[in-house]
Each structure stands twice: as structure tokens, then as C-alpha cells.
Amino acid sequence: MPANLPQKPVPPLSPAVFHILLALVDGERHGYSIMQAVESDTAGALKLGPGTLYGCLKRMLSAGLVEESEERPDPDLDDERRRYYRATDTGLRAVRAELARLAAIVSVAQAKKWLPRNRSVLAGPSR
């Protein structure tokens, strides 16, 4: 896209798609590794089953958010049936846009003193 044209807005991401992209920010992963990263990143709050993960990945491939990697690790160290995925530039832009949206929401919550800057989200509202 030429630099002088504005980029079209990125629609909000579902929690599953957002966390899959976050798992891919640091590099390529296979499906099971993505599931593990999402569970770890969310402290177990979000556990993606295979149907959810691969359904999301299929839609994300179509939308250009991720791509399948052609590179494979050493076959002696990895199962050749695994598919590896990586975030595209569009996917990284979508994650940055979603992070900005979430930061704006947190900022509003802090301004309303629902989420003080020095307290945990789990502590509840201050009165």
C-alpha cells in the first residue's frame, strides 16, 4: 500500500484471534504450541480446543492475518505433519490496533476511577 494513502481501520478482534496473534508475535509456532502459549499467557483463563484453534486459523489465513510457514525444523526433531504459522504484517497491525483499543478502554476505566492505576483489576472498584 502506498505510504500516502490512509490505511483502513482494523475491526476489533475476537479474544481467541487476539491471543493467537499474540502467541505468534515472537515467531512461528505449530498449533499445539499456540494452544499452550494462549493458556499460559492467560493464566489458564482461555483454553483453546483444537476446533476453535483451527477454525480461527482457517479464517485468519483467509483474512491474511497469518500465513503458513514453508520452513520446517529438522525432521528428526519434529513431526513432519505439523503445520507452522506466523503472523503477517496485517496480523501484526491488527494486534497493535487491538492493543490500542484495549489501552483506551483501560484509560477510560481509570479516569472513572473504576480501575485505579495502582490497584489490580481483581481488587474491584474503589469507592
Q: How far apart are CA 64 and CA 69, in angstroms?
A: 13
So where are the chain's domains? Answer: 15-91
* Residue range 15-91 in CATH 3.10.20.30: no
Query: What is the dihedral sign for C-alpha 107, 112, 115, 116?
Result: positive
pTM for the full predicted model = 0.80
23 by Cβ neighbours in 10 Å (0-12 / 13-18 / 19+) ranks as buried
pLDDT 10s digits, 50-85: 999 999 999 999 999 999 987 766 555 566 678 899
Contact criterion met (CB below 8 Å) for 37 and 29? yes
Phi, psi of 90 (to 5 degrees): -65, -40
Say what percent of the chain tops pLDDT 90: 61
Phi, psi of 42 (to 5 degrees): -105, 10
What is the predicted pLDDT for the residue at 99?
95
